[in-house]
Amino acid sequence: MRTHPPSAWRTGWVIWLLLAAPAFAQSTRETATYRRLKPALDAIPAIDTHDHLWPFDRLPGLVVTKRGKGMNLAGLWLNSYFAGVHPLAPWKPGMAFPDWWGKAKNDFNDARATSVYRYQLPAFADLYKVDFDHISDEQARALDEEIFTHYEDQRWLYQVITERANIELMLNDPYWGRLDFKIDYPFGVLVFNVTRLVSGFHASEFKSKSDDPYQFAAAEGIKLQSLNDYLAVLDRLFQKAKAAGAVCLKTTLAYERTLRFENVPEERAARVFGRPRTALSAAEIKEFEDFIMWRLVELSARYELPFQIHTGHGRIQGSNPMNLVDLIEANPRTKFILFHGGFPWVGETGIILMRHSRHVWLDSVWMPTLSYATSKRAFHEWLDVMPSSRIMWGADANHAEGIYGATEMTRRCLAEVLAERVDRGELAEDHALRIGRQILRDNALALFPQLESRLWKHKGIVMKPPETTAKPLQKPQ
């Protein structure tokens, strides 16, 4: 027989629920703790550990409009992560904005909840005062005009990135010119992208001079006729990169193949060298790539250049970071940085750090843009199992608005996680602030100590482009 609680107890329970309901309904961003933590994190001059900011006159979003060549709303969206996941109307050179917008505005309808859509919204809201979720046709036209006007001068990039996003230094991966070893912005820090070097078994593998170790060898006067010669070229490339100011390596092989690299004997790799792809089996090509990857890992330790490795969300059949465990365990002198948190395998990445935190770091770069919800869960899990000194972040975008949006999403995500742990009594607020500063800035400075000499915000410097390069983009004749 069911019994009912006494009337007084039941009444007290109802009153408690009514009083507690607002607290249950309150989102993290509405709490007093979040409102204290978020501005504090915003004030930290961040060290962005990964971006792809092209030279100003080669920005991927530049399109030909009736006003001439420049950036516009279509360029920002078509060169964002949104377009990689959702169909979006293309921009035809010289077309009128209403013709594009009339088609494109409906392409956002099924993606309003996705992170690859929402990460750009803070830029439109904060930089242009536009609510893109409820934008009118006239507001879209005005936004398009304003974007074009801003990008007539590259000082807009400097203002958004260094002032509004509060980024002090940015590690930039120039994948469009991997062996050029140059940085185009004074706040940029060189990353040596070694992705293509594993394919050095034959000169026919390289189509661009800026990626071609064979042309590099010829310019350096190094003969390149054997595997030993190729290893000597790799060593010279590391010397050049280090002298040019590179602070780390980067590979995106996870887009092309499995991350499981076997420790292949040199004689087997030597049998592959000098033969074109058409004369090799897939197994032979993999063996050569595996052998070179192990050599790159060894050079990483020798030249003290930590190794950023894209994990997760690539060729998903083989991009789980667990595939790297044997390589990591066998090379304790190499400093590994597991990019993108291994998304979606964030728990696996956490356990790797739990076991190998002496020489492995984790970078949350790109994750809040891919999935804000997964990023929140990941930060909670990671802080449970690893030292807070091992987590970093990056924006991973190619234009100012994307960088701003990704940075804002990261700060929001981190502030939410820290506020929730403080409000649950799991973390003191001063400790939360220290963790936030570690992730946004201090961990990168500890891993890349050479960055200390590049810091400029505490000196009161205003970062701006050289006068000789602050020119408008091409106008119509």
More confident site: 88 or 13? 88
How many helices (H) and strands (E) would you count in the chain? 19, 10
Q: What is the pLDDT of residue 87?
A: 97
Q: What is the pLDDT of residue 60?
A: 97
With bands split at pLDDT 50, 70 and 90, how would you rate the model's confidence at 453? very high
With bands split at pLDDT 50, 70 and 90, how would you rate the model's confidence at 476? very low
Q: What is the pLDDT of residue 18?
A: 38
Q: What is the pLDDT of residue 466?
A: 78
**Cα angle 299, 303, 306; round to 5:** 80
Inter-residue long-range contacts of 79-83, CB under 8 Å, 24+ positions, other chains counted: 79/398, 79/399, 79/402, 80/116, 80/120, 80/397, 80/402, 81/116, 81/119, 81/369, 81/370, 81/402, 82/111, 82/114, 82/116, 82/117, 82/120
How far, in Å, CA of 427 to CA of 12, rounded? 31
pLDDT average, residue stretch 425-449 = 98
How many CA atoms does the CB half-sphere of 321 hold within 13 Å? 30
Which pair of structure tokens corresponds to residue 216?
A: 């590099």
Structural domain boundaries of the chain?
60-150, 166-459
How far, in Å, CA of 230 to CA of 248, rounded? 21
CB 115 within 8 A of CB 405: no
How far, in Å, CA of 160 to CA of 22, rounded? 37
Residues near 148 by beta carbon (within 8 Å), at least 6 away in sequence: 65, 67, 70, 71, 72
What CATH architecture does domain 166-459 belong to? Alpha-Beta Barrel (3.20)
How far, in Å, CA of 93 to CA of 62, rounded? 10
Q: Are strands 307-310 and 336-339 parallel, antiparallel or unpaired?
A: parallel
Whether the predicted pLDDT of 14 surpasses 80: no
How far from chain centre, in Å, is Cα 363?
8
pLDDT average, residue stretch 138-154 = 98
Which pair of structure tokens corresponds to residue 417?
A: 């996680």
Across the chain, mean pLDDT equals 93
With bands split at pLDDT 50, 70 and 90, how would you rate the model's confidence at 229? very high
pLDDT average, residue stretch 33-44 = 98
Whether the predicted pLDDT of 57 surpasses 70: yes
pLDDT average, residue stretch 58-85 = 97
Q: How many residues does the chain have?
A: 477
Q: What is the pLDDT of residue 296?
A: 99
Q: What is the pLDDT of residue 325?
A: 98
With bands split at pLDDT 50, 70 and 90, how would you rate the model's confidence at 387? very high
| Element of type H or E holding 100 | helix 97-104
Which residue in this structure is represented by tokens 């609680």?
5
Bridge partners (DSSP) of residue 392 are: 363
CB 179 within 8 A of CB 237: yes
231-245 confidence digits (pLDDT tens): 999 999 999 999 999
With bands split at pLDDT 50, 70 and 90, how would you rate the model's confidence at 459? very high
Q: What is the pLDDT of residue 462?
A: 87
Residues near 353 by beta carbon (within 8 Å), at least 6 away in sequence: 338, 360, 361, 362, 382, 385, 386, 390
